[in-house]
Amino acid sequence: MTHNLQFYIDGSWVEPSGSDTLEVVNPATEEAYARIAMGGRTDVDKAVAAARRAFASYSRTSRKERVELLSSVIAVYRKRYDEMAATISDEMGAPLGFSRDAQAAAGLGHLSQVLEVLKTYEFDEIINRTLVTREPIGVCAFITPWNWPMNQITCKVGPALATGCAMVLKPSEVAPMSGLLFTEIMHEAGVPAGVYNMVNGDGPSVGAALSSHPDVDMVSFTGSTRAGIAVARAAADTVKRVAQELGGKSPNIILPGADLAKAITHGARQCFSNSGQSCNAPTRLLVPRDQQEAVIEIARKVAEQTVVGNPREASTTIGPVVSQVQFDKIQALIEAGIAEGARLVTGGPGRPEALNRGYYVRPTIFADVRNNMTIAREEIFGPVLSILPYGTEEEAIAIANDTVYGLSSYVTAGDLEQARRVARRIRAGMVHLNGAPGDLAAAFGGYKQSGNGREWGKFGFEDFLEVKSMFGFEAA
């Protein structure tokens, strides 16, 4: 890529208004390998103005035109797929195979799903004599994270394009290279000038300017709950729509009668996947008290079989966490678990043996965890699994719901009807029953401090649409 030190505004690569730059560090080596420009309010003003101009015409495009545009974006994304996978691996440390099969695949999956929804989505509905129509909301600001960069960029940009909105993207400054590559894809696909714009920068500068901008109609943010609160506050003065996908501390309830070996192996692997850097990771493993020791041995085996190492080695299961800041935070939380009396089963502080460079974290398991411990309350965002024993089903449900978060959850039972019954009582936006995977056609999002709004499938369209009622539209 040749546009690291530029922004994409009004269909062209442009020079930033200032001279600030930031080094991009490969977390596997701790070495800088690229440099990006860092924007500010002036750059945001230019990008928003371009989006506002473009919205006037793009909002009136037909379904057919937008289907053709999305099809073009998908075709170019496919062409640069391997490049995207390698870019994500370098910027945030995902193993290359995982980056191909999950990280880059998530972007293609969302774009393809959006295209299918667009083909049949009902923008108009007649109720009595009234036309209820759904129109594009306007100019959208997207602030996206580093942990699943293409997943979060495409599940915002895709439906915005499909519904006729214009937009400004601020990718994470920690892992910005995939955002730059995606912008090249959008340009090559022929997205009309001004419909899609991209400005790099950090939260206090570009993020805050976008959130508070009077000409931005909605802001969609994915990241920590702390940062989400700041975005909502900045947006409040202009009463713009705010959609947030925030943190999580997902419970994984194993009910009596479940296949322990299958359930624990699957749950532990999911917890450690992506180096634990997933907001919906099943980090609180709730197990019957009389089965905890058996559970520990199964989970320990998974942890010890997890290969931590170079993202470019085929044998690697998980790579490093994304940055020194994240590494230090995870280490502090592991130390807190030990200090508060949780039983350290395996892993613990420090890097894995033979790794003295890179932000690598040991897959760590704690047992005898109580739900008031720090490691059970705070989102660790690393490969750390907490095992919480419970006595009764009622107690398990109470523990699962005793959190400020409510993003995802997991329930495994020998009887599907039992799993369904417990799932209905979990206060979370998503529940995985008996190891079922996510579904891109369904809704993704959470309750409580895990955010508001929904992404994915037809539900992902709704935050980008205003609803207008035209009374008397039909003749009497």
**Does residue 235 sit in helix, strand or coil?**
helix
Which residues, 6 or more positions from 156, have their beta carbon under 8 angstroms from its beta carbon? 140, 142, 144, 167, 169, 220, 222, 455
Q: Alpha carbon 113 to chain centroid distance?
A: 17
Q: Other CB atoms closer than 10 Å to residue 30's CB: what's the count?
A: 14
Please choose, from the candidates 443, 302, 279, the residue with its C-alpha nearest in 3D space to the C-alpha of residue 365. 302
Q: Which of 91, 173, 184, 245 is catalytic?
A: 245
Sequence letter at residue 54 = A
Q: Is residue 279 flagged as an active site residue? A: yes
| Distance separating alpha carbons of residues 292 and 389, to the nearest angstrom | 6
Task: Tell me the DSSP string of 28-71.
Answer: TTTEEEEEEE---HHHHHHHHHHHHHHHHHHTT--HHHHHHHHH
Q: Is 271 a catalytic residue?
A: no
Rg for the chain (alpha carbons), in Å?
Answer: 23
Q: Residue 363 and residue 352: Cα distance in Å, rounded?
A: 9
Token couple for 469: 């009622």
Which entry of 140, 155, 279, 379 is annotated as an active-site residue?
279
The catalytic residue positions are 245, 279
